[in-house]
Structure 1
Amino acid sequence: MQHKNKRAHTRRRFIKNAAVLAASPAMIGQHPAAPRQQVIHHVFFWLKNPDAEADKKELIAGLKTLKAVPQVRQLLIGTPASTVKREVVDNSFQVSELMYFNSTKDQDDYQVHPLHKAFVEKCSHLWERVVVYDMITDSTV
């Protein structure tokens, strides 16, 4: 009988501890499943000399410096993928960058940050066209 009571006590302790652990994020106001909005900044570059590999490398090197801007949560840099050609796919650009920010304020601060201004000043001679898509994620999805 003592063995059964010990097992029941252990089981009750486990359930109590599990309940405390499950409730703790809510108690501190940060539920792990709570949706979080973010701002995504996607920029496409068309080079003045689209076949100049040196220009592409210089632009990519310049883009990499933007990772040091504190508001930039994540930076991805790439070139067009060799995916199946479809009418809805535009892969006419040479370089693209994708940035993640925590808020529109962070994205606004990034725009006036000295490193961003230096990048534009140093690299703008390389491109003939830039298209920007800014998006705030929908926290209800």
Structure 2
Amino acid sequence: MIKHIVFFKLKDGSQENITKTKDVLLSMKGKIPVVRHIEVGIDVLRSERSYDLSLIIEVDSLEDLDQYQIHPVHKEIISYIGSVKESVVVVDYEF
């Protein structure tokens, strides 16, 4: 299995914007068949080095991760994130 973890720092770090972005990310739930698990968390410390949100996706294989990346629902999310993000970092690993 592959775990895909993404951290987002938003241009507007207001609680309202963070919550909206969380809802947008969670809107993928149940819409991309290869996704086995999706989780979104909001940072509670809010320190200078913190990112605002994390996204965790689990899929069965690297091939499924590729399918997730090109799925139309994911592409819509990427478009939204592109408009609100300051920075994004990603880690993908097998478990």
Q: Scaled by the length of structure 1, what TM-score is found?
A: 0.61
Give me the identity figure in percent. 30
Structure 1 residue ranges without an equivalent (≥5):
1-37
Q: Which residue of 1 is the match for residue 33 of structure 2?
A: 70
Highest RCO, 1 vs 2 (Cα 8 Å, sep ≥ 6): 2
Q: Number of matched residues?
A: 93
SS in 1 for 2:24: helix
Q: 2: distance between equivalents of 1:113 and 1:65?
A: 14
Q: 1: distance between equivalents of 2:57 and 2:24?
A: 14
Q: 2: distance between equivalents of 1:77 and 1:128?
A: 18
**How far apart are residue 121 of structure 1 and its match?**
1.2
* Structure with the larger helix share: 1
Q: 2: distance between equivalents of 1:44 and 1:110?
A: 17
Q: Is 1:131 matched up with 2:93? A: no
* Structure with the larger strand share: 2
| Residues 43/128 of structure 1: CA separation in 2 closer, same or farther (3 Å cut) | same
Aligned counterpart in structure 1 of residue 15 of structure 2, from 22, 37, 53: 53
Q: 2: distance between equivalents of 1:123 and 1:43?
A: 12
CA RMSD of aligned residues (A): 1.8
Could you say which structure has the larger radius of gyration?
1
Instruction: Report the AA paired with residue 56 of structure 1.
Output: I
**How far apart are residue 70 of structure 1 and its match?**
0.8
Q: Is 1:96 matched up with 2:59? A: no
SS in 1 for 2:51: coil
Where does structure 1 differ by over 6 angstroms across 4 or more consecutive aligned residues?
Answer: none
Q: 2: distance between equivalents of 1:71 and 1:115?
A: 12
